[in-house]
Amino acid sequence: MAGPYQGKQDPSDEKIHSSPDHSSERSSADKTSGEHPREVELQVKILYYPFMGTNVDTERLLLLPKICYAPLDIGELERMLFGDKPSKEEVGRFIRSLINSGHLGALEHWYTTFAVQGYSRISSQQNDRHRLMKVFKDAGVVYYNEPVQASPDVSQLQQSQRYVREENFGYVVPPSFRAHPDFLERFRKLQEEVRQIQREGHARGIPAEDVRFALTNATETRFVITVNARQLRHMFNLRCCQRAQWEIRELFTKLLYEYKKIAPNIFYRAGASCEDFGYCPEGKMSCGRAPTIDALREAYEEKHRLSRRNEPGGGEDVR
């Protein structure tokens, strides 16, 4: 399609859009085969974001919400996206104003896809919790310490242990194990034993979907996630928090670093809840880096009480 910008032709496009072939799964597994299970390290890669590979700034997509505030026609919207006005600085100010004003629905129009490998199966289960977000609240109930900042919009594709044989799997080693060499060695031997069980089970003709029951939670998984910017910011709120499990925090800290390079205004102030909101929603479980919502409410009520006492004819608020 002709237009004011041209995408860069990728010679791999034809392969990407070709019909799926299960042989690709087998060849991928062959490439990672070896004599022993492998200790793996986390790897992340952003595969897609709006206007990726073109000369159009991805953040210009978030100029579209201007239609909420002005009678813009289609032509004007298109010129905003692909033109040079408003300037990059003005675009940034507009996006930050959207975030500061709470107009976060606008962020749902910016989609991205990222891939992850070298991640444990146990930690990957946390991603499923973002499929149906907590925006489905009980009617009439106000959640003061749990602000609704997300949208139920996450799609995930994950490597199947049913179709991909795990005879030479990778596995994740928790950093705490390395301080206990004898325990780490036992852990490694366990992975080797699991590998032997996988091979023997397949050799006996036991279905792969049953042999996988012997795998441990440390087994590496690989997945792809597509998500909008609003939901991704919410994931950063939860997963960059000091209370998040270390592997999940490592993943989202790496992703945040990469996304801030791509779209610094869309991910302005993004990070743990305390960095985004200025307070901690964890209540008694707070790490102490920021005041909790209860502490802020108490401070506000105290200030309000004192101001009433200082008013002419004021006195102690007995409510």
Buried b (16+ CB within 10 A) or exposed e, 193-231: ebbebbeebeeeeeebeebbeebbebbbbbebbebbbbb
pLDDT at 49: 97
**Any catalytic annotation for residue 309?**
no
DSSP-H helix ranges across the chain:
13-16, 22-31, 74-82, 88-101, 121-128, 181-203, 208-211, 229-239, 246-262, 273-277, 293-310
Cα 84 from chain centre: 31
* Contacts of 68 by beta carbon, 8 Å cutoff, 6+ apart: 103
pLDDT at 1: 40
pLDDT at 2: 40
Domain locations in the chain? 23-44+113-258, 50-109
Do the Cβ atoms of 43 and 116 come closer than 8 Å?
yes
- In a 3-state reduction of DSSP, which class is residue 297? helix
Give the separation between CA 287 and CA 269, rounded to whole angstroms.
19
DSSP per residue, 173-225 = --GGGGG-HHHHHHHHHHHHHHHHHHHHHHHTT--HHHHGGG--TTBEEEEEE
The strand pairing partners of 221, in sequence order, are 119
pLDDT at 128: 72
pLDDT at 316: 53
- Say which CATH architecture domain 23-44+113-258 belongs to: 2-Layer Sandwich (3.30)
β-pair type (38-39, 170-171): parallel
- Token pair recorded at residue 112: 């991205």
Cα 149 from chain centre: 14
- Token pair recorded at residue 187: 């852990």
* Contacts of 64 by beta carbon, 8 Å cutoff, 6+ apart: 77, 80, 81, 106, 109
Give the separation between CA 287 and CA 293, rounded to whole angstroms.
13
Per-residue pLDDT tens, the chain, 319 aa: give them: 444 434 444 433 333 333 344 434 433 444 444 567 889 999 999 999 999 999 999 999 999 999 988 999 999 999 999 988 999 999 999 999 999 988 888 999 999 999 999 999 988 877 777 665 544 444 444 444 454 555 557 888 899 998 888 888 999 999 999 999 999 999 999 999 999 999 999 999 999 999 999 999 999 999 999 999 999 999 999 999 999 999 999 999 999 999 999 999 999 999 998 888 888 888 888 888 888 888 888 888 877 787 777 767 655 554 4
- The one catalytic residue in 195, 222, 239, 249 is 239
Question: In the block, which residue shows the tokens 């270390």?
Answer: 246
The predicted model scores a pTM of 0.78
pLDDT at 131: 63
